[in-house]
């Protein structure tokens, strides 16, 4: 649900990433993130290309937006004893904007840590409305289950992860069985899900773009992840910035965490200091790990080594 503005774009495009040394580039990238530039403009310059095996533009469905990028660990990265996890990641953008290329840093961080990662596009509003983007996400998850073994991952260790609006998508895959059910799957097959700065309880809707995406005011109450919190939910990791000014972490992250915990779900909730709605996600990028312990928390949840993987 981040919103880069037109005024920010020229400053980002002037950055000249190839001419910057690593330290200068790191500071420029952080400044760009804080001012609202996209992750492609701000972080792509910092993503190492020799830490994973990749394949771009893999179709999981017939629509041009039903594509994903694939990130696999190098052969030298050992698989954990429990089996190599596969993580399907969905980005945010108010269900109105976003490109998988902006989140190469997520795929790199996960693959370099020993997981297979899929970063998926999905159809956006106003092309589609709720719940069609959820149906795209379910189709991507179905592709992940079907291909897990061929990709070197354990089909019993498929996880879903998302940031902001993408965390909502991930939550609905994990908590509301309708969407995976349409693909012949069940949330019970998931090894877990990770939500970062997600909106899980956001009615009434005030944002004009989100109103369009959810057909407000005809938005059904069961469109909210909180309505589906139960003891049947898979293991859950919820992260957010403690002072997130865009998505209220007390109402959403803590609220969903309390509801899941009360239902008996294995849930871990962390509100992190020193980061924002944007930089809590940026902290997953290994050059920006010092912002907050996002990557160690995610690694631990996935059963991967918590130290830096070379």
CB 117 within 8 A of CB 111: yes
Within a domain: residue 20? no
C-beta of residue 167 within 8 angstroms of C-beta of residue 237: no
* Structural domain boundaries, residue 165: 49-302
Query: What is the CATH classification number for the domain harbouring 223?
Result: 3.40.50.1820
The answer to whether residue 12 sits within a structural domain is no
The span from the CA of 130 to the CA of 225, in Å, is 13
Residue 34 belongs to some domain of the structure: no
Nearest to 99 by CA among 51, 22, 43, 175: 43
**Quick check: is 111 in a domain?**
yes
Q: Does the pTM exceed 0.75?
A: yes
Tell me, yes or no, whether 13 lies in a domain.
no
The answer to whether residue 29 is domain-embedded is no
- Do the strands 192-196 and 116-120 form a parallel or antiparallel pair, or are they unpaired? unpaired
32, part of any domain: no
Q: Report helix angle 132-147 to 165-175, nearest 10.
A: 70
Cα 178 to Cα 11, 40, 89, 219, distances in angstroms: 44, 33, 19, 17
116-120/267-272 β-pairing:
unpaired
Output the tens digit of pLDDT for each of the chain's 310 residues. Answer: 433 322 222 234 333 333 344 444 555 555 555 444 554 456 666 677 789 999 999 999 999 999 999 999 999 999 898 899 999 999 999 999 999 999 999 999 999 999 999 999 999 999 999 999 999 999 999 999 999 999 999 999 999 999 999 999 999 999 999 999 999 999 999 999 999 999 999 999 999 999 999 999 999 999 999 999 999 999 999 999 999 999 999 999 999 999 999 999 999 999 999 999 999 999 999 889 999 999 999 999 999 986 554 4
Total domains in the chain come to 1
Q: Which residues pair with 89 in a beta bridge?
A: 119, 161
Is 40 contained in some domain?
no
């Amino acid at each position: 649900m981040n919103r880069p503005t037109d005024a920010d774009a020229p400053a980002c495009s002037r950055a000249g990433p190839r001419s910057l040394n690593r330290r200068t580039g790191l500071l420029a990238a952080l400044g760009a993130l804080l001012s609202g530039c996209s992750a492609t403009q701000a972080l792509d310059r910092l993503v190492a290309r020799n830490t994973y095996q990749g394949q771009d533009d893999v179709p999981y469905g017939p629509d041009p937006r039903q594509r994903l990028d694939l990130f696999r660990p190098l052969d030298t990265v050992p698989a954990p004893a429990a089996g190599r996890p596969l993580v399907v990641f969905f980005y945010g953008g108010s269900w109105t904007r976003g490109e998988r290329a902006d989140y190469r840093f997520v795929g790199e961080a996960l693959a370099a840590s020993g997981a297979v990662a899929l970063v998926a596009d999905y159809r956006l509003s106003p092309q589609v409305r709720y719940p069609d983007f959820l149906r795209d996400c379910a189709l991507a998850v179905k592709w992940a289950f079907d291909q897990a073994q061929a990709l070197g991952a354990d089909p019993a260790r498929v996880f879903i992860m998302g940031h902001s609006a993408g965390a909502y998508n991930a939550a609905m895959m994990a908590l509301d069985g309708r969407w995976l059910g349409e693909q012949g799957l069940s949330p019970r097959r998931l090894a877990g899900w990770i939500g970062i700065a997600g909106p899980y309880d956001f009615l009434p809707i005030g944002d004009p773009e989100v109103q369009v995406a959810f057909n407000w005011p005809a938005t059904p109450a069961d469109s909210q992840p909180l309505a589906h919190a139960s003891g049947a939910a898979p293991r859950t990791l919820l992260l957010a910035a403690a002072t997130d000014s865009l998505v209220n972490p007390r109402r959403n992250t803590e609220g969903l965490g309390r509801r899941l915990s009360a239902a008996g779900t294995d849930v871990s909730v962390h509100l992190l200091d020193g980061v924002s709605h944007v930089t809590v996600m940026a902290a997953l990028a290994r050059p920006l790990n010092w912002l907050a312990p996002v990557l160690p928390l995610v690694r631990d949840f996935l059963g991967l080594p918590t130290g830096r993987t070379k």
